[in-house]
Structures are given as C-alpha cells and as structure tokens.
Amino acid sequence: MTKAECILSAMKRFKFGPADSFMIGDAVGDIRQGKRAGVGTVATCWGFQSKEILVQEKPDFIADSPRALLPIFGAEHRP
C-alpha cells in the first residue's frame, strides 16, 4: 500500500476530508504522496532531505522546526 493509499484509508476511517488532512514529511516522496492523495503538504526541514530539495516539490507549507508547525495548524497559542 502506498502512502497516498494509507492517507486515503485513514481519511475514510476517521471521516476527514482532504481540506482537513495533511501529509507532513521530510522527504520528496512524502510531499509527492500527499499531493497524490489530494491533501495539504508540509515539508519538515530537520529530517532526511534538505530544504532546498523539498522546496522544489512545492509543498503547501515549509516548517524549519517542530515549533513552526504550530501556526500552520492554528495551534500557535497552545503550550
């Protein structure tokens, strides 16, 4: 099963639509699979591949640190 198929399966199981779902990953393949599943994509720049490589895939968001994920999901005021 591909990551895109896993995303679609999880969305069906938990009754989430594409607008409420994201693929967060540190590799080009993660961004591509998120796009194939039709969900938002977030490239994390502290993992497997460099920011320069990830930017080329045109993710919806780029996070340079774990804390940078908070405003993406409207959680900037949570502890």
Supply the CATH number for residue 39's domain.
Answer: 3.40.50.1000
78 lies in some domain: no
DSSP state of 67: G
79 lies in some domain: no
The pTM assigned to this predicted structure is 0.90
How would you classify the pairing of strands 40-44 and 61-63?
parallel
Over residues 20-71, the pLDDT tens digits come to 999 999 999 999 999 999 999 999 999 999 999 999 999 999 999 999 999 9
| Sheet arrangement for strand 22-25 | 22-25, 40-44, 61-63
Domain span at 63: 3-72
Number of domains in the chain: 1
24 lies in some domain: yes
